[in-house]
Amino acid sequence: MSKMKRDEVLKGIPLENIDSYRINKIRDAVIKDRRRIVVLDDDPTGTQTVNNVKVLTVWDVDVLQEAFLDEIIFFILTNTRGMSDSEARILLDEIMDNIMTAAELAEKDFVVIARGDSTLRGHYPMETQVIKEKIEKRMLSEIHGEIIIPYFKEGHRFTYNDIHYIEEDGCWTPVGKSEFAKDLVFGYQNSDLKEWIEEKTNRKFLAENVVSISLEDIRVRGAEAIAEKLLNVVNFGKVIVNAVEDSDLEIFTLGLLQAEEKGKKFIFRTAASFVRIRCGIERRPLLTREEIIKVEQGRGGLIVVGSHVNKSTRQLKNALELNDVASCEIDVEKLLSSEFSGKEEIERVASIANQFINLGQSIILYTSRKLNKSDNQLGRSNMDISQIISNAIVEVVRGIKTEPSYLIAKGGITSSDICTKGLEVRTTKVIGQIREGIPVWQINNRLSYVIFPGNVGTENDLKDIIEQLN
C-alpha cells in the first residue's frame, strides 16, 4: 500500500462524535475511582501531552510511596528502549516489585500504562508480559487483557481499519512502509496492528483472535458497545483501538471505565495521547518563552542532538543555519575508534560549549551523521554503538560547568540519559509543551528542559524553538 491522502484513506468514515464536556466526565471518574495511574515510560518523550504531572527517574520505594500518596498520575522514566531485552527485563522486574511494595505501604490500588513509541518501536511484547506476570503473581489478581493504542495526534499517527499510519505533508503512509519499521533494533514488517501483534509475539497471539475496537464501534455504537466487547476479553487477549481524533479515545475511555467498574483489568501499551485522555487532563496552551525562562541569566542555551532518524537530521540542518547560534560536531568515529581517545573528544566539545554559554551565545552540539559500518564487523551491535555514543554525550554534559539558560535534547535516549545520568535528576515535573508533542520539564524549579523526540515536529521546529528561547 502506497502513500494516500487523508481523505482517500478516510472515505466513508462515520462523523466524529464531539462532546466538549467528555474529558470532564473522565476526570470526575478518575477522581472517584481513586486508583493511581502509573505510567512506565520507555523514554522521556511520553510526557508529550500532559501538564502539571510528576516525573520520577528513580524508583526507590520511599519515592514511589510519596508519589502514591500525593499524585493521581505519575510517570516513571525507565528508558528501557535504550537497553537490551535482558537488561530491560531485569529492570522492569525491580521496578514492578518496588511499585507494588510502595502501593501496599500507601494502601493504594493502581493501573499501569506502558507508554511506548507511536511508530511501534520498543520491547514489545516483553514489557507488558513482565508487568502482567509480576502483578498476577504478587497481587493474585488476573489481568484479563492488553489494550494497544499507538494513536498520537500530536505526532500525526493515526489508526483506521486496524492499519496504523504516519502522516507527512498531507499524505498517510502505513507505518510498516516507514523508516521506523526498518529500525535496526526494533524493526517490523506489518502495518495492520492485528498482524503486527502476531508478528511480534511469534504467532503466540494470532491476528484472527485480536479484538478490534473500530471507528464504527466508537462513533456509531458508543461506550456501552465498547464496554460489552471489553467484558468478553480473557486470557490476556489483545485489543487494538482505532482512532483518528482525540474524541475517539474519549468515547473509548468511557467504555473502558464501564468495563473496569464491572471488574475487568487491563494493561495498556499506548502512545502519549491516550495517557492524557485516560487521566482526564485537559489541554493547555503552548508554553511561552516567559513561562519557560523565568530568570534571565545572560547565558547561552544548550542544544544537544543525538537522534539519527532522518527527520532529526533534516531539523538539525535547518537549525545550523541560525547565524547567532554556535555549533560543534561530536565526532562519533573518534568515540568508537581504538586509534583515538574518546576522552579527548569529550573534553574538546565540553570546553567549546562552556566557552560559548559563558559568553551568552547558545550552542548546538550534535553527533556526526555518518557511522563507519566496520564497527559492526568488530562485534559491536547497534545497541552497543548507541550506548557508547549516548554515554559520551552524558560525559560532555557533565563537563559543561556553566548552567545554560535553557536545555534542549533531541532524541529519546539522548534526553533520558542527559536527564538521569548527566544532570542526575530524581524527580521533576512536566509543565506543558512548547510545540505539539514536545514537552518541557522544569528541573529544580530553575532549568527548563525541552524534550524533543526524534520522530516529531516539522523540519523547522528545532530552528524555531531555538529562536523563540534565545
Query: Which residue has cell 564497527?
Result: 375
Question: Which residues form the domain of 360?
Answer: 289-469
Q: Do 218 and 328 belong to one domain?
A: no
CATH number of the domain bearing residue 344: 3.40.980.20
Rounded to whole angstroms, the Cα distance separating 275 from 417 reads 23
Residue 448 has what pLDDT? 94
Q: Could you tell me if residue 452 is inside a domain?
A: yes
Rounded to whole angstroms, the Cα distance separating 177 from 188 reads 10
* Long-range interactions of 287-291: CB distance < 8 A, separation 24+: 287/431, 287/432, 287/433, 287/434, 287/440, 289/468, 289/469, 291/431, 291/432
Pairing of strands 266-270, 145-149: parallel
Q: Do 198 and 293 belong to one domain?
A: no
Count H helices and E strands in the chain, helices first: 18, 19
40 forms bridges with which residues in the sheet?
Answer: 76, 114
Q: Do 297 and 268 belong to one domain?
A: no
The 3-state DSSP class for residue 117 equals coil
CATH number of the domain bearing residue 260: 3.40.50.10840
Q: Could you tell me if residue 249 is inside a domain?
A: yes
Rounded to whole angstroms, the Cα distance separating 69 from 218 reads 35
Rounded to whole angstroms, the Cα distance separating 31 from 405 reads 37
Q: Could you tell me if residue 284 is inside a domain?
A: no
User: Residue 464 corresponds to which amino acid?
Assistant: D
Average pLDDT, consecutive stretches of 10 residues, N- to C-terminus, the chain (470 residues): 84 91 94 95 90 96 97 95 93 98 97 96 97 94 97 95 93 94 93 98 98 97 97 98 98 98 97 97 94 86 88 92 95 77 88 96 90 49 76 92 94 85 92 94 91 88 96
Rg of the chain over Cα atoms, rounded to whole angstroms, equals: 22
Q: Do 171 and 78 belong to one domain?
A: yes
Pairing of strands 73-77, 36-41: parallel
Q: Do 306 and 424 belong to one domain?
A: yes
Residue 169 has what pLDDT? 82
Domain boundary among 240, 255, 278: 278
Domain boundary among 256, 278, 300: 278
Q: Do 377 and 446 belong to one domain?
A: yes
Task: Report the number of distinct structural domains present in the chain.
Answer: 2
Q: Do 338 and 204 belong to one domain?
A: no
- Element spanning 174, H or E: strand 171-174
Q: Do 271 and 293 belong to one domain?
A: no
Q: Could you tell me if residue 130 is inside a domain?
A: yes
Q: Do 191 and 151 belong to one domain?
A: yes
* Long-range interactions of 29-33: CB distance < 8 A, separation 24+: 29/254, 29/257, 29/280, 30/72, 30/278, 30/279, 30/280, 31/72, 31/280, 33/257, 33/260
The length of the chain, given as a count of residues: 470
- Spatial neighbors of 19 by CB under 8 A, at least 6 apart, are 247, 250
DSSP one-letter string for 344-383: HHHHHHHHHHHHHHHTT--EEEEE-S---THHHHTT--HH
Q: Do 84 and 175 belong to one domain?
A: yes
Domain boundary among 258, 278, 298: 278
Q: Do 169 and 200 belong to one domain?
A: yes
pTM, to two decimals: 0.90
221 forms bridges with which residues in the sheet?
Answer: none
Residue pair 410/304 in contact (Cβ under 8 Å)? The answer is yes
Q: Could you tell me if residue 83 is inside a domain?
A: yes
Q: Do 310 and 227 belong to one domain?
A: no
The 3-state DSSP class for residue 67 equals helix
- Spatial neighbors of 240 by CB under 8 A, at least 6 apart, are 147, 148, 149, 159, 162, 193, 194, 197, 210, 211, 212, 213
Residue pair 269/128 in contact (Cβ under 8 Å)? The answer is yes
Q: Whose CA is closest to 72, among 26, 41, 34, 100?
A: 34
